[in-house]
A and B are shown apart, each in its own frame.
Chain A
Amino acid sequence: MLTETFFIAVSLLAVIAALGMLVSRSPVRSALWLILVMLCVAGLYMTLSAEFIAVVQVLVYAGAIMVLFLFVIMLLNLGALPNLERVDFKKGVGFVLGTVILAQLVYVTATASEPLATAAFDPAETGSALKIAEELFTRYALPFEIIGILLLVATVGAVMLAKRTFE
Chain B
Amino acid sequence: MEIPLTWYLTLSAVLFSIGVMGVLFRSNLIVILMSIELMLNAVNLTLIAFGQFMGDLAGQILVFFVISVAAAEAAVGLAIVIAIFRNKLTVDVNDIKLFRH
Chain B residues 31-90 with CB under 8 Å of chain A are 31, 33-35, 37-38, 41, 44-45, 48-49, 51-55, 57-58, 60-61, 63-65, 67-76, 78-83, 85-87
Nearest residue (CB) in B for A144 is B65
Known: A61-B70, A158-B75, A161-B82. A27 touches B31 (CB 8 A): yes
Give the number of residues in B that approach A within 8 Å (Cβ atoms): 72
Assess the A109–B75 pair: CB atoms within 8 A.
no
- Cα distance A93–B45 in the bound complex, in angstroms: 27
Assess the A34–B37 pair: CB atoms within 8 A.
yes
A31: chain B residues at CB < 8 Å are: 34
Of B15, B21, B28, the most chain A CB neighbours within 10 A belong to B21
Give the number of residues in A that approach B within 8 Å (Cβ atoms): 86
Count A-B pairs with CB separation below 8 Å: 234
Q: From residue B1, how far is it (CB to closest CB) to chain A in Å?
A: 6
Nearest residue (CB) in A for B18 is A18
Of B16, B75, B81, the most chain A CB neighbours within 10 A belong to B75
- Cα distance A130–B76 in the bound complex, in angstroms: 32
Nearest residue (CB) in B for A110 is B6
Known: A37-B38, A95-B21, A147-B68. A68 touches B6 (CB 8 A): no
- Cα distance A165–B82 in the bound complex, in angstroms: 11
B residues at A contact (CB < 8 Å): 1-11, 13-28, 30-31, 33-35, 37-38, 41, 44-45, 48-49, 51-55, 57-58, 60-61, 63-65, 67-76, 78-83, 85-87, 91-92
A residues at B contact (CB < 8 Å): 3-4, 7, 11, 14-15, 18-19, 21-22, 27, 30-31, 34, 37-38, 41, 44-45, 47-50, 52-53, 56-57, 60-61, 64-65, 68-69, 72-73, 75-76, 78, 81, 84, 90-91, 93-95, 97-99, 101-102, 105-106, 109-110, 113, 116-117, 119-124, 126-127, 131-132, 135-136, 140, 143, 147, 150-151, 153-155, 157-162, 164-166
